[in-house]
Amino acid sequence: MAGRLEDVESEMIRYYAARAGEYDDWYLRRGRYSHGPTTDAAWHSDLGAAAAWLAGRGFHGRIVELAAGTGWWSPVLAAQGQLTLCDAAPEPLEKARVRLAAAGLAARFQIRDAWSEPDTSADCLFAGFWLSHVDRGRLDEFLGLVARWLVPDGLFAFIDSRRDPESGALDHRPPVDDVQVRRLDDGTSFRVRKVFYEPADLESALDRAGFRQIEVIATDRFFVLGSARRY
Ligand SMILES: C[S@@+](CC[C@H](N)C(=O)[O-])C[C@H]1O[C@@H](n2cnc3c(N)ncnc32)[C@H](O)[C@@H]1O
């Protein structure tokens, strides 16, 4: 029976819900995410650089983390302020809850669409590997939303993917027209939106959205790191 095709954005939420138990394999270069000792060492070096960069951004006060997932970066944030983790899927957030509890850090958790209008204001907002899931045609809209979350002079920071064939799983092909097919360990597959924004594109978009002190840099191979302040 022919049905309405599910849109990529909804499929992406189902994907991350189903992937919650194996998500950190990507960070840890386990199983299908290992690309051999040389590449894996380069990955871990970039990951360490990203963590050090994030810790030095000056997070403070009320911190909102959108699309927080399993909370890989959340301990860095929760150590510096009152963190609220938001995600559309409960499964990854549950992993984040366990991670923060194990680290002895307090935080609030909210099932929340990243596109929902803010219901409070924040001193700082972080999004890890989320901008690359935002459609090119909606990037300005999303950054406008970020600006509405933040108090004047509030900090926005993000970490995201650079295009590199050895960043993802061995059995993943590059995106076509910004849509990528992702497979899980059990063989099921899902479509996600995946956009490799160039640092210059992100800087221009942040400028258009009314941010200042814009800085977008890249690690050696794998990540884009960005921060800016709301006017
Ligand atoms: C690539 S993961 C990033 C997780 C985490 N921020 C990190 O850096 O590891 C993307 C996350 O976005 C969440 N997500 C997908 N669509 C969403 C939406 N519309 N609103 C909020 N979260 C969403 C997924 O559930 C997933 O946890």
Pairing of strands 82-87, 108-111: parallel
Question: Which of 27, 129, 190, 225 to probe ligand 1 with, by most ligand atoms within 8 A of CB?
Answer: 129
Q: Is ligand 1 within 6 A of the CB of residue 26?
A: no
How far is the C-alpha of 156 from the C-alpha of 127, rounded, in Å? 8
Q: Is ligand 1 within 6 A of the CB of residue 218?
A: no
Tokens of 82: 């009152």
Asked if residue 1 belongs to a domain, the reply is: no
Residue 6: predicted pLDDT: 74
Asked if residue 3 belongs to a domain, the reply is: no
Return the DSSP state at 214.
E
The domain tally of the chain equals 1
Give the number of the atom of ligand 1 that is nearest the alpha carbon of residue 128: 8
Residue 3: predicted pLDDT: 47
What residue owns the CA closest to ligand 1's atom 13?
67
Asked if residue 214 belongs to a domain, the reply is: yes
Ligand 1 mean position to 1 CA, how many Å?
31
What pLDDT, in 10s, does the model give residues 79-135? 999 999 999 999 999 999 999 999 999 999 999 999 999 999 999 999 999 999 999
Rg (CA), the chain: 17
Q: What is the pTM of this model?
A: 0.97
Residue 2: predicted pLDDT: 40
Residue-by-residue DSSP string for 77-125: HHTTSEEEEEES-HHHHHHHHHHHHHTT---EEEE--TTSPPSS-EEEE
What pLDDT, in 10s, does the model give residues 56-77? 999 999 999 999 999 999 999 9
Distance of CA 25 to the CA centre of its chain: 16
Asked if residue 53 belongs to a domain, the reply is: yes
Asked if residue 39 belongs to a domain, the reply is: yes
Which residues span the domain enclosing 80? 8-230
**Distances in whole angstroms, Cα of residue 44 to Cα of each of 26, 28, 170:** 11, 8, 17
What pLDDT, in 10s, does the model give residues 157-215? 999 999 999 999 999 999 999 999 999 999 999 999 999 999 999 999 999 999 999 99
Would the pLDDT of 55 be above 80? Answer: yes
Ligand 1 mean position to 49 CA, how many Å?
22
How far is the C-alpha of 145 from the C-alpha of 152, rounded, in Å? 14
How far is the C-alpha of 193 from the C-alpha of 16, rounded, in Å? 12
Q: Is ligand 1 within 6 A of the CB of residue 126?
A: no
Contacts of 118 (CB under 8 A, 6+ apart): 64, 145, 148, 149
pLDDT band of residue 1 (cuts 50, 70, 90) is very low
What residue owns the CA closest to ligand 1's atom 4?
69
Q: Is ligand 1 within 6 A of the CB of residue 145?
A: no
Asked if residue 31 belongs to a domain, the reply is: yes
CATH number at residue 168: 3.40.50.150
Q: Is ligand 1 within 6 A of the CB of residue 87?
A: yes
Q: Is ligand 1 within 6 A of the CB of residue 15?
A: no
Q: Is ligand 1 within 6 A of the CB of residue 224?
A: no
Would the pLDDT of 4 be above 60? Answer: no
Continuous segment of H or E residues that includes residue 161: strand 150-161
pLDDT band of residue 5 (cuts 50, 70, 90) is low
Identify the weakest region by mean pLDDT among 5-14, 144-153, 188-197, 209-218. 5-14
